[in-house]
């Protein structure tokens, strides 16, 4: 496993320590790995949504039509 040394503000370190104290994470490395996994999942989901959008074809609606539809749903 690789090692990575980073510098963060004291406030961020305090936040990490609180997450560890909550019992959800064993240590700072565990917390950082969890953040990275979530970020990777989010990026994968965005890529999939973009591909789905591209594959769905072209809309005949204009941007104004879409805005009007959204406003009428509110």
Angle between helices 28-55 and 10-21 (to 10 degrees): 100
Q: Name the H helices within the chain.
A: 10-21, 28-55, 63-73
Contacts of 61-69 with CB under 8 Å at 24 or more apart are none
Q: What's the predicted TM-score (pTM) here?
A: 0.67
The number of residues in the chain equals 74
Q: What is the pLDDT of residue 74?
A: 76
Query: What is the DSSP secondary structure assignment for residue 29, as one 8-state letter?
Result: H
- 25, 19 in Cβ contact below 8 A? yes
Could you list the pLDDT tens digit for every one of the 74 residues in the chain?
899 999 999 999 999 999 999 999 999 999 999 999 999 999 999 999 999 999 999 989 999 999 999 999 87
């Amino acid at each position: 496993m690789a090692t990575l040394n980073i510098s963060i503000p004291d406030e961020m370190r305090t936040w990490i320590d609180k997450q560890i104290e909550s019992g959800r994470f064993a240590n700072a490395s565990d917390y950082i790995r969890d953040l990275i996994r979530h970020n990777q999942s989010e990026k994968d989901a965005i890529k999939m949504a973009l591909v789905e959008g591209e594959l769905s074809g072209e809309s005949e609606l204009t941007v104004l039509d879409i805005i009007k539809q959204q406003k009428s749903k509110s």
